[in-house]
Structure 1
Amino acid sequence: MQSILQYRRIGLAVKNQLQRDEEKRAATFTSNLGEKPVQQPLPAPQSEAARIALGRALTGILARNRTVPDGGDPRVFVVGWEGKNDPMNPKTLSTAARVRATIIISAIAFVVTAASAIDTAILPQAAAEFGVSQVVESIATGIYLAGFAAGSVFAGPFSETFGRNIVYLVAMIIFMVFVMASALAPNIGAQLTFRFLAGVFGSTPLTCAGGTISDLWGPLEKTYSFPIFAVGGFAGPALGPVIGSYIGVGNIGTWRWTEWITLIMAALVLVIIIFFQIETYPPLLLKWKAQHLRKLTGDDRFRAELEVTESTLWTRLRTSMARPFLFIQEPIIMCITLYLTVLYIVLFTFLDGYTYIFGETYGIGQGLTNVIFAGMFVGMAFISFLVPWVYRKTKNELESNRTETGSHIDPEVRLWYAMLAAPTIPISLFWMGWTANPSISIWSPIIASVFFGYGAICIFVSAYLYIIDSYEIYAASALTFVTVIRYLFAAGMTVVGIPFYRNMGVHWTLTIMACISTLLTPIPYILYRYGHVIRRRSKYAMSNKQ
């Protein structure tokens, strides 16, 4: 709905632009013919000379040549924005409109990531109905994450061909179909198949969200806009078990209601997308503008860059499937991938591990054990207290660089969120591992989970912003690589989580994870100090430091 209205608004804006530039076009045309300027409005240009004059007179239009294999007119008028304040440019929308669009994307991410974790809340009930062990049933979570990894390779190219909104809409509808199929699954094989396919189509916001935020926000504004997205997106795995906490326990439905609730949430978000979400992909918006210009002027040479370039969907798909794995040679990407992978392994093994950390240790029920995941979300919300300070730090960096070398932000400034939180990860894991004891208050490991949530979201935000700023045009491929690797490893570890906690025990399982995270803690500090040196030696990274 919003996309349709947006298309019409662009049409009205094009009409207004033609009227505003009418006098300029008339003056250019009559000057070329040696005539006196005509004062009254001119009709749409009919002669070739008049059309060329119009194409050159319109603001934001670039006349250039192109190679046309089919023998068409090699001259095109490439359509761009009227200027920095073009009202059709997503970056010029009001802050309220851009925040709304960001929150909607965050809501999509919340639903699809909550779906990855909500099934763990009813693991015993689903396993009993299908006649399998809880380890086998836990594959339903792991296979969903594997679907995330597979789908992330395809979502980006489709959004860069057809636009963000249509991909969000179609992917959400198909996601809902497979969630419903999971709810109706007659056996474990059907459930795993449908969960995998739901994960494939649920991966869309995880891949496209970074692009949407880049469409809407400038470099400085991302300091506070990206955390808005991240809190919702990262909260899904933490609040999924909370949502499903008492389902299947007592008289509150069967385990299948976890899927039905996911379906209801997805339907609500789908309605919000239809009625409120705007299209943000600039090349597509310029394509719409070019279509209106062709219709109003009768000149087929008005083209958007998306229509001029000879990059097909298949070409983009081949690139998206091949290029991400070239980043295995990038030290920055490998360090960040390793860091995020460990975080996701810890996060998703918690989905099984909370039963041992809290349920068996303190003798509380299945429902309350899952409610305790809310503590992690509280920690994630604490990032909001860092935003004003990091924003000022980033603004000062921008002003300093504008004075000395132009207007840009060195990517290393994006690491402040991580540097202010990295130590909390090993601290929280050691704390939780060695205070989860019946003789110690249950509030001690709960508070530790708050610190873990705070550290995890800060590292996630820094990692994404740092990659986006460091790799710019290659950022989508770099983020795809990070997404695929972390979800594949998290998928595998989700399945082995139960045996790990059962055989190693809570203390040693969390101690091992804490030790590994301790070894990774220096990464943001090392990148802050030496990142600019590494980027200068990189084939794909952008080097801003002089």
Structure 2
Amino acid sequence: MQSFLQYRKFRHNLEEQIQRHGLNKVAGCATQPDTDREHPLEAGGRNEDELLPAEEGIQPRDHATEEKELENEKPPQRQENGTALLAPPFNGFSQQTRGHRASSTNGSLHHTNTRDTSLSRASSRATSRANSTASRPNYLSTATTRSTIGARLGQTLTGVDVRTRKTNEGGPERGKVFVVAYQGPDDPLNPHNWSITKRVAITLLVASIGLIVGVASSIDSAAIPQASKEFHVSEVTESLATAIYLVGFGIGAFTAAPVSETVGRNPVYLVTMLLFMIWVMASALAPNIGAQLVFRFLAGYFGSTPLTCAGGSISDMWDATQRTAVFPLFANAAFWGPILGPIMGGFIAENVSWRWCEWITLIWAGGILIALFFFLPETYAPILLSWKAQHLRSITGNERYKSALEVQDTKFKDRLIHNFYRPFQLFVYEPIVVLFTLYLTVVYIVLFTFLTGYEYIFSDTYGLSQGVTFLIFVTLGIGFGFATAFVPWVFKRYQRNLAKVQEEGGTHLPPEQRLIFAMMGAPALPIGLFWLAWSARPSVSIWCPIISNLPIGFAIMCIFISSYQYLIDAFEAYAASALVGATFIRYIAAGGMIPASIPLYENVGVPWTVTLLGAVSLLMAPVPYIFYYFGARIRKRSRYAASV
């Protein structure tokens, strides 16, 4: 609904822009003769036997012939308020675009197809009659401007580039194209220029999607004992319901990105949220373990959209500096979801039924879907510019107004293929992608193995109930809050460094400036894990292992924020592929580790299982420091990364 209203408002705003630039005045002067003069082409000005080419059935010529004439033609004169004015050329292209007839009535434009040759013939007839009749003025300039004002619109409005088509756009033989862009940096149609309140609200809406799909990813893990008992399977088998959801998350990332870049963000969010809800409902009604696993996989597949598209939605509205402060909003929602899931699921499964874990998720998701339907606008620039080009074609009657997305005319199948193989290319050839993907994978393995591990760490060791055990996840959230508290400091630091670069003639900071958060959090993760591993024992107060979750949560948030933003800035045009690959690998790995963690905790024990996680995180801790100091050199040797 919001997108539909936005589409209608888009045309209204565009018409206002056109009026502010005087297009109606230009069109009226170009197409209408003076009212106190008799036009030579009216009924009284031509003989009955002189038929216009349109009446003779002459067919219009192709654009190639038209382009050649227009390029060789001198800019025509037009009559405005009795003064002859020379209209400036538009990028070397005549401001007249033949093949249409425009008329203006009360400021509105109406377009009717005519013939190219009609203009020249009508002009010659008008000229001969004017020369033979001294009492009649010369209407040559008026007659020759009876054509579409489409090209003149490009001259009048900024943000329209007339150029020859490139090879990947059909080649020069297809003629020129009017590529539509925003009208300068202050264009109100650009989401970057929306009010801060509106952009924050949209960001929170997108974050709410990340929150609910995160809740769905983990809420079943707290109900494993009850669900496994009902389905008569082991707890390891039932843990696959959580694992398979994460696998669906990873696989779904490959299709969400190209679809959003074809039809826009808004339809993808709405449709995938609806399908996500359908499969969550099916999971609640699952008659057996097989059906539950299939439905959970499909729910994860369609729930992957926010983690794939949210970065793009945020970039649609916020510049690089602003993202430093805004992205943590989404990051907190993305990680609070997996934390709230087991907290809710533990009490629901213990006191009601494990199926109500799914029903509560469905109700919550329904509320978010309603909010998205009414309040979430489209933010993807290529789609917005496609709307603008469509409206310009409607207003001017000139079909050559195209957005950059329409000019390229890339098929969805091709985008899907590229989206499948390019992430693997980046993972093979780019050390930045390899190491940060592995680092994020370690972080996610730590987080999601806690879903099964907390029962061994706290329930078996200290005898806590199911609900109270998972309530301890709140301490991870408090750690997230500590990391978020550093956002203002990091934001101001980024602004100061950017100002210094701009004073020296630069335009933006190198991507390595994004790694400050990760450098703060990298030591905290192994510290927290080693602390938890050797303090979780009956002889030690329960508060000691509980407090160890604070540095773990702090590190998880810091590493995630830095890694995502560094990949976006380092790969720019290929950032989507880098993030898709990272999403796929970390969720597949985390999903595989959930059922594997249960035998580890049972057979190896809590101390050594958590110590193993701490050792792997310690091995990855130098990654942000290495790239902070040597990242620029590594990017210069990269075939995909930006060499800023």
Normalised-by-shorter TM-score class: over 0.9
Measure how far apart 1:423 and its partner are: 0.8
- Residue 56 of structure 1 contacts residue 63 of structure 1 at CA under 8 Å; is this kept in 2? no
Write out aligned runs for 1:205-244 (5 A): 205-244=306-345
Inter-partner Cα distance in structure 2 for 1:311 and 1:143 = 33
Amino acid at match of 1:347: L
Q: 1:334, 1:71 → 2: CA distance?
A: 41
Q: Counterpart in 2 of 1:337? A: 437
Which residue of 2 is the match for residue 77 of structure 1?
A: 178
1:435 aligned to 2:561?
no
* Conserved? CA contact 2:513–2:628, under 8 Å: yes
SS at match of 1:220: helix
Q: Which residue of 1 aligns with 2:621?
A: 521
The alpha carbon displacement at 1:76 in A equals 2.2
Given the two structures, how large is their TM-score scaled by the length of structure 2?
Answer: 0.81
TM-score (norm 1): 0.96
User: 1:62-461 residue pairs with structure 2 within 5 A?
Assistant: 62-66=161-165, 74-249=175-350, 252-327=351-426, 328-461=428-561
Q: Deviations over 1:162-182 (max 9, x none)?
A: 000100000000011110000
Say if 2:215 and 2:338, in contact at 8 Å, map to a contact too. Answer: yes
C-alpha displacement of 1:61: 1.2
Secondary structure of 1:441's aligned partner: coil
2:483 maps to a residue whose letter is I
Q: Does 1:61 align with 2:160?
A: yes
**Could you tell me how far apart the structure 1 residues matched to 2:498 and 2:30 are?**
44
Residue 167 of structure 1 aligns with an amino acid whose one-letter code is: V
Query: Contact (CA 8 Å) 2:148, 2:396: kept in 1 or not?
Result: no
Q: How does 1:498-513 map to 2 (within 5 A)?
A: 498-513=598-613
* Alpha-carbon distance in structure 1 between the residues aligned to 2:151 and 2:623: 56
| Deviation for aligned residue 1:28 | 9.5
**Which residue of structure 1 aligns with residue 562 of structure 2?**
462
Whole-Å separation in 2 of the counterparts to 1:28 and 1:532:
57
Q: Is the 8 A contact 1:415 1:528 kept in 2?
A: yes
Q: 1:377 to 1:45 in 2, by over 3 A?
A: same
Does structure 2 conserve the Cα–Cα contact (< 8 Å) formed by 1:25 and 1:58? no
- Cα distance in 2 for residues equivalent to 1:374 and 1:385: 17
Q: What is the letter of the counterpart of residue 501 of structure 2?
A: N
- In structure 2, relative to structure 1, the CA distance for the partners of 1:367 and 1:43 (3 Å cut) is closer
Deviation at 1:501, TM superposition (A): 0.5
RMSD between aligned residues: 2.0
Native 8 Å contact 1:29 1:53 kept in 2: no
- Give the drift of 1:405: 3.8
Aligned equivalents of 2:107 and 2:157: distance in 1?
15
CA distance in structure 2 between the aligned counterparts of 1:227 and 1:418, rounded to whole angstroms: 13
Give the CA deviation at 1:42: 6.0
* Cross-structure match for 2:35: none
Spell out, residue by residue over 1:263-310, the C-alpha distance to the aligned partner (whole angstroms, 9 max, x if none).
Answer: 111111101111111111001011111111122222222211111112
SS across alignment from 1:300: coil
Distance in 1 between the 2:81 and 2:199 partners? Answer: 42
* Structure 2 residue matching 1:244: 3-state secondary structure: helix
Equivalent-residue separation in structure 2 for 1:344 and 1:49 (angstroms): 59
* Partners of 2:232 and 2:276 in 1: CA distance: 27
Q: Are the counterparts in 2 of residues 10 and 289 from structure 1 also a CA contact under 8 Å?
A: yes
In percent, how many aligned pairs have the same letter? 49
> Are residue 44 (structure 1) and residue 109 (structure 2) matched?
yes
Q: How does 1:520-539 map to 2 (within 5 A)?
A: 520-539=620-639
CA contact (8 A) 2:215 2:341 kept: yes
Report the structure number with the largest CA radius of gyration: 2
**SS of 1:303's equivalent?**
strand
Report if aligned partners of 1:399, 1:407 keep a CA contact under 8 Å in 2. Answer: no
Is the Cα–Cα contact under 8 Å of residues 180 and 402 in structure 2 kept in the other structure? yes
Which amino acid in the other structure matches residue 77 of structure 2? G
- Deviation at residue 73 of structure 1 after TM alignment: 6.3
Shift of residue 32 of structure 1? 4.4
1:14-60 deviation digits (Å, cap 9, x = unpaired):
11122122258459959944243249986537533633222322221
* 2: CA distance, partners of 1:28 / 1:309: 35
| Cα distance per residue 1:515-545 (max 9 Å; x no partner) | 111111111111101011111111100011x
Are the equivalent residues in 2 in contact too, given 1:114–1:237 (CA < 8 A)?
A: yes
RCO comparison, higher one (Cα < 8 Å, 6+): 1
**What residue number does 1:16 align with?**
16
Deviates more, 1:355-364 or 1:326-335: 326-335
**Structure 1 letter corresponding to 2:262:** T
Matched residue type, 2:242? T
Q: CA offset at residue 349 of structure 1?
A: 0.6
* CA positional deviation for 1:346: 1.1
Question: How far apart, CA to CA, are the structure 1 residues paired with 2:520 and 2:246?
Answer: 29
| CA distance in 2: counterparts of 1:436 and 1:42, whole angstroms | 78
Aligned partner letter, 1:14 = L
CA distance in 1, matches of 2:311, 2:362: 25
User: Could you tell me which amino acid in structure 1 is paired with residue 252 of structure 2?
Assistant: G
Letter in 2 for 1:18: I
- Number of aligned residue pairs: give it: 542
